């Protein structure tokens, strides 16, 4: 059988002396190839390890052309080097990946749901199951069965077998990589699962601590199930507790009343927004009613602390009330500068041409059609210049 790399032989090894075989550069950057490595190369749904080689940070680890390339932040000197593994990241990945094996095995054996894909993300993981949907009761039963297998402290071990032996084993697999040759690596959860896998795993299901199911979403006729294992579950709970403590302080309510309290606050906000819209409508009607009586053919106004929606509504109402008028409104709210040019149907004014000219003067971007042009400007410093052009 072929000799595996150190991350395969001893997944708990955190330091290793190795020899640089060669350097190179590809589309990913500067890399080195070593005679051995404790750093796992990305594959099988598991991200690459991180660490350092002779003090140079390892940015990525990839398999390429039958070798493992370590992408570095700085070049190395030829010769012997010491590698150091980012153990916290590795152990997290070992927990998540082993958690996936356990989840997949239990889902298949106890519920008949096969796994078709796995993704180990930065904050949560997911598997795609053939189940069309999972009810809350399904998730509760599945999570309970996972907890029982964690308490059972089943041994997890990896081994390699020859292809002729592999065919006779009861292996769960989604298929070997295309073009695979030589020995086949198997990962076994004692008494529960035997699976083809090249990833790193904990030595016992007890080291998973917990597998927490987070929720589901439909995908490709099946179900994507999100989960976290081990330290991620504890950190997630800690974050929830900190968040709840902050919400309790802000809302003055116990945990069990937080949702109802937030729902009440949201309804209050919606009611306030409805009142503001009603007041805006009343203000627009008042402004346009007064401006419609103006003797000026061209009406210009600037509205501080108003947005584009306000001046658009006002401009449309005004030209509807006074079809002979031309309207140029500007506004500024929260550093956003807006302008509107509009003309009534009886004005004979070419808004499209004039709007483009005003946008040029204001160094703004905008557009429009049918007697209406709107836009946004970085600044309204040239507003007087725009007014002068409009009045010429």
CATH number at residue 227: 3.30.980.10
Q: Is 64 helix (H, G, I), strand (E, B) or coil?
A: strand
Would you state the torsion angle of the CA atoms of residues 87, 93, 94, 96, taken in this order, to the nearest 10 degrees? 150
Sequence-ordered alpha helix ranges (H) in 293-378: 308-321, 351-361
Q: What is the pTM of this model?
A: 0.78
Contact present, 212 and 231 (Cβ < 8 Å): no
Question: Are 228 and 100 members of one domain?
Answer: yes
Give the C-alpha separation, 82 to 353, whole Å: 70
User: How many domains are contained in the chain?
Assistant: 3
Tell me which of 85, 118, 133 is where a domain ends.
85
Question: Are 99 and 208 members of one domain?
Answer: yes
Beta strands in 145-257 (DSSP E): 156-161, 184-189, 193-196, 211-219, 222-229
CATH number at residue 381: 3.10.310.40
pLDDT digit string (tens) for the chain, length 392 residues = 356 899 999 999 999 999 999 999 999 999 999 999 999 999 988 999 999 999 999 999 999 988 999 999 988 888 999 999 999 999 999 999 999 999 999 999 999 999 999 999 999 999 999 999 999 999 999 999 999 999 999 999 999 999 888 888 988 876 676 667 788 999 999 999 999 999 999 999 999 999 999 999 999 999 999 999 999 999 999 999 999 999 999 999 999 999 999 999 999 999 999 999 999 999 999 999 999 999 999 999 999 999 999 999 999 999 999 999 999 999 999 999 999 999 999 999 999 999 999 999 999 999 988 899 999 999 999 999 999 999 87
Question: Are 109 and 191 members of one domain?
Answer: yes
Question: Are 30 and 110 members of one domain?
Answer: no
Q: Which domain does 67 fall in, by range?
A: 11-85
Tell me which of 172, 206, 238 is where a domain ends.
238
Residue 1: predicted pLDDT: 37
Question: Are 46 and 120 members of one domain?
Answer: no
Question: Are 195 and 297 members of one domain?
Answer: no
Question: Are 127 and 112 members of one domain?
Answer: yes
Beta bridge partners of 186: 159, 196
Domain annotation covers residue 339: yes
Contact present, 38 and 85 (Cβ < 8 Å): yes
Question: Are 50 and 128 members of one domain?
Answer: no
């Amino acid at each position: 059988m072929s000799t595996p790399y150190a991350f395969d032989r001893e997944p708990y090894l955190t330091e290793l002396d190795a020899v640089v075989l060669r350097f190179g550069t590809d589309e990913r950057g500067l890399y080195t190839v070593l005679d051995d490595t404790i750093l796992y190369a990305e594959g099988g749904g598991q991200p690459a390890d991180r660490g350092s080689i002779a003090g140079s940070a390892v940015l990525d680890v990839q398999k390429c052309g039958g070798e493992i390339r370590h992408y570095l932040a700085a070049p190395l000197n030829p010769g012997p080097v010491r590698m150091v593994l980012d153990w916290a990241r590795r152990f997290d990945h070992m927990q998540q990946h082993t958690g996936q094996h356990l989840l997949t095995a239990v889902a298949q054996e106890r519920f008949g749901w096969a796994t078709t894909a796995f993704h180990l993300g930065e904050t949560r993981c997911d598997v795609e199951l053939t189940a069309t949907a999972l009810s809350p009761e399904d998730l509760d039963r599945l999570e309970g069965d996972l907890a029982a297998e964690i308490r059972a402290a089943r041994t997890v071990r990896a081994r390699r077998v020859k292809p002729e032996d592999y065919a006779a084993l009861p292996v769960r697999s989604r298929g070997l990589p295309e073009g695979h040759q030589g020995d086949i690596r198997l990962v076994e959860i004692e008494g529960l699962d035997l699976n083809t896998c090249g990833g790193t795993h904990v030595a016992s299901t007890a080291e998973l601590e917990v597998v927490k199911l987070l929720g589901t979403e439909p995908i490709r006729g099946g179900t994507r199930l999100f989960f976290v294992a081990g330290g991620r579950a504890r950190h997630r709970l800690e974050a929830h507790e900190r968040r709840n403590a902050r919400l309790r302080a802000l809302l003055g309510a116990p945990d069990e009343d937080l949702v109802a309290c937030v729902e009440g606050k949201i309804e209050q906000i919606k009611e306030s927004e409805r009142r503001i819209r009603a007041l805006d409508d009343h203000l627009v009607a008042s402004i346009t009613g007064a401006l419609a009586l103006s003797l000026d053919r061209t009406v210009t106004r600037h509205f501080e602390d108003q947005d584009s929606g306000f001046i658009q509504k006002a401009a449309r109402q005004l030209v509807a009330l006074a079809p002979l008028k031309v309207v140029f409104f500007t506004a500024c709210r929260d550093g956003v500068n807006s302008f509107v040019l509009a003309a009534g149907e009886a004005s004979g004014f070419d808004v499209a041409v004039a709007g483009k000219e005003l946008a040029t003067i204001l160094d703004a971007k905008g557009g429009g059609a049918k007697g209406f042009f709107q836009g946004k400007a970085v600044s309204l410093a040239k507003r007087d210049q725009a007014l002068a052009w409009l009045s010429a």
